Amino acid sequence: MEGNKIIFIGAGNLATNLAKAFYDQHIKIVQIYSRTEDSAKTLAEVVNADYTTIPEEIKKDADLYIVALKDDVLVELMPRIIAGKEHALMAHTSGSLPLSIWPDSVKRKGVFYPLQTFSKQRKVDFRNIHLFIESNSFEDNALLERLAACISNNVCELSSEKRRQLHLAAVFACNFTNHMYALAEKLLKQYDLPFNYLLPLIEETEKKVHLLSPREAQTGPAVRYDENIINKHLDLLSDEPEMREIYQLISKSIHKL
């Protein structure tokens, strides 16, 4: 990506991981913007860039702006972000926002969406991550694809509609899955049992879906609707009405599927 000046707008979990992945591939990042000085400075230091916390001080001569802000923050800051950058490609990183979120004054609209869960505490390997791109021109598709291919082996064009659908499925597969871990952890704390008892089970559950469809891979009391066990579990949850409700609803759904 010789000759392309890239600026990151945002320094959260996604921006941090993505900027580091670029940096590791010797792709120069000129500047980091974040509302939080601490985040801006921390990331800027790691990737050897300038930083600012003022939208008006975002440099205007970059070729590509990667906008990795929370959806509502992006919408709120939009006018201040795009001002004076009419020549440049603006690419957001959201699974749920369409390409058309960019107003007409932005001539070169783009999306650069890595399908992954990011935390600052854990560096992810981008090679296997699916990276979905979209833009409103053949040239910018090519540019985003070339950039994406520097860090990932799985780059794919995807429309805004398909990306939104994929994002919904990802919420089930990632956030809701992680919440099942969190509820299990909560129970084990109550019972004074260590969470690490579950780790090999969690690992195997994940590994199985590389080989079997999740429907085929299902085991446990709900799939055979073993009412005896289910009722005993509901008894155990008698002080946890919310977890009881989740238990019942998911068990029924497993049995139905």
Shorter beta-carbon distance to a copy of itself: residue 83 or 168: 168
Q: Does the footprint of a copy of itself cover residue 123 (CB under 8 A)?
A: no
Q: Does the footprint of a copy of itself cover residue 35 (CB under 8 A)?
A: no
Of 2, 26, 122, 138, the one binding a copy of itself by CB under 8 A? 122
Of 72, 104, 138, 241, the one binding a copy of itself by CB under 8 A? 72
Shorter beta-carbon distance to a copy of itself: residue 83 or 201: 201
Q: Is beta strand 29-33 parallel, antiparallel or unpaired with respect to 108-114? A: unpaired
Query: In the complex, what is the shortest distance from the CB of residue 71 to a copy of itself, in angstroms, rounded to a whole number?
Result: 6
- Token pair, residue 115, equals 């399908």
Shorter beta-carbon distance to a copy of itself: residue 142 or 209: 209
Q: Does the footprint of a copy of itself cover residue 149 (CB under 8 A)?
A: no
Query: In the complex, what is the shortest distance from the CB of residue 192 to a copy of itself, in angstroms, rounded to a whole number?
Result: 9
The phi, psi pair for 233, rounded to 5°, reads: -65, -40
Shorter beta-carbon distance to a copy of itself: residue 142 or 212: 212
CA distance 66 to 7: 6
How many other β-carbons are positioned within 10 Å of the β-carbon of residue 100?
A: 10
Q: Does the footprint of a copy of itself cover residue 233 (CB under 8 A)?
A: yes
Query: In the complex, what is the shortest distance from the CB of residue 9 to a copy of itself, in angstroms, rounded to a whole number?
Result: 18
Q: Does the footprint of a copy of itself cover residue 253 (CB under 8 A)?
A: yes
Site for a copy of itself in 86-115 (CB under 8 A): 96, 115
CA distance 254 to 165: 22
Tell whether the torsion through CA atoms of 170, 173, 179 and 182 is positive or negative: negative
Q: Does the footprint of a copy of itself cover residue 145 (CB under 8 A)?
A: no
Q: Does the footprint of a copy of itself cover residue 224 (CB under 8 A)?
A: yes
Q: Does the footprint of a copy of itself cover residue 77 (CB under 8 A)?
A: no
Q: Does the footprint of a copy of itself cover residue 13 (CB under 8 A)?
A: yes
Give, as one character, the DSSP assignment of residue 195: G
CA distance 143 to 2: 12
On whether the CB atoms of residues 225 and 256 are closer than 8 A, the answer is: no
Site for a copy of itself in 188-217 (CB under 8 A): 188, 191, 193, 195, 197-217
Q: Does the footprint of a copy of itself cover residue 173 (CB under 8 A)?
A: yes
Give, as one character, the DSSP assignment of residue 55: G
CA distance 98 to 93: 10
- Token pair, residue 72, equals 């509502």
Q: What is the maximum alpha-carbon separation in the chain?
A: 67
Of 80, 87, 146, 162, the one binding a copy of itself by CB under 8 A? 162
On whether the CB atoms of residues 26 and 47 are closer than 8 A, the answer is: no
